[in-house]
Amino acid sequence: MSIQEAWAGRYFEDFKLGDIYRAPVGRTVSEADNTWFTLITNNPNQIHFNAEYASRTEFGRPLVNSTLTLAIVTGMTVADVSQNGFALGYEEVTMPRPVFAGDTLYAETEVLELRESRSRPEQGIVTTRTRGLNQRGEVVLQMRRQVMVWRRDAAPRVDAFPLSP
């Protein structure tokens, strides 16, 4: 028997311009997800949790909190984009279609730019465009993101799995 290492994410030298990474699983957003996220983030806009109020809007039902959509789509990309780094910024975040409870989100990310970090030679900066799609393939979120990513030889090692004595 051999123990196989799990996917540990990309390091700076693994990224290539034009590559597209598709998250391997979708995520269906529930009404509970939306309500809890809205409560946790203190968002008092009733369009997210009051069905009667939302029924009188152009959408006819509660909208999924836009920052929940952003969080889910971003989270879906971590294994491929930022597992070995951290976000420097988000730009041009747009949400061209609404998301409702019961919609399933998918994510794909394209590598737009790669550059060496001038201040941190052990890392590089990756610029990406991520699209969040619903189950019909409609874009519900699009954003650009910059991530500071470790080079493989300089990355901190994290051996989180406990070993038996």
**SS3 per-residue string spanning the chain:** CCCCCCCCCCCHHHCCCCCEEECCCCEECCHHHHHHHHHHCCCCCHHHCCHHHHHCCCCCCCCCCHHHHHHHHHHHHHHHHCCCEEEEEEEEEECCCCCCCCCEEEEEEEEEEEEECCCCCCEEEEEEEEEEECCCCCEEEEEEEEEEEECHHHCCCCCCCCCCC
pLDDT value of residue 79: 93
pLDDT of 4 over the 90 cut = no
**Taking Cα atoms as reference points, which of 142, 34, 48 lies closest to residue 93?**
142
Identity of residue 53: Y
**80-116 per-position pLDDT tens digit:** 999 999 999 999 999 999 999 999 999 999 999 999 9
pLDDT of 134 over the 80 cut = yes
Rounded Cα–Cα distance for residues 153 and 163 (Å): 24
Identify the residue whose tokens are 């957003």.
29
Q: What is the mean pLDDT of residues 143-157?
A: 94
Rounded Cα–Cα distance for residues 72 and 97 (Å): 16
**10-60 per-position pLDDT tens digit:** 999 999 999 999 999 999 999 999 999 999 999 989 999 999 999 999 999
pLDDT of 158 over the 80 cut = no
pLDDT value of residue 91: 95
pLDDT value of residue 2: 83
Q: Give Cα separations from 125 to 87, 112, 132 (angstroms).
A: 10, 11, 22
pLDDT confidence bin for 163, thresholds 50/70/90: confident
Q: Of residues 96 and 4, which shows the higher confidence score?
A: 96
Phi and psi angles of residue 153, each rounded to the nearest 5 degrees, phi first: -70, -20
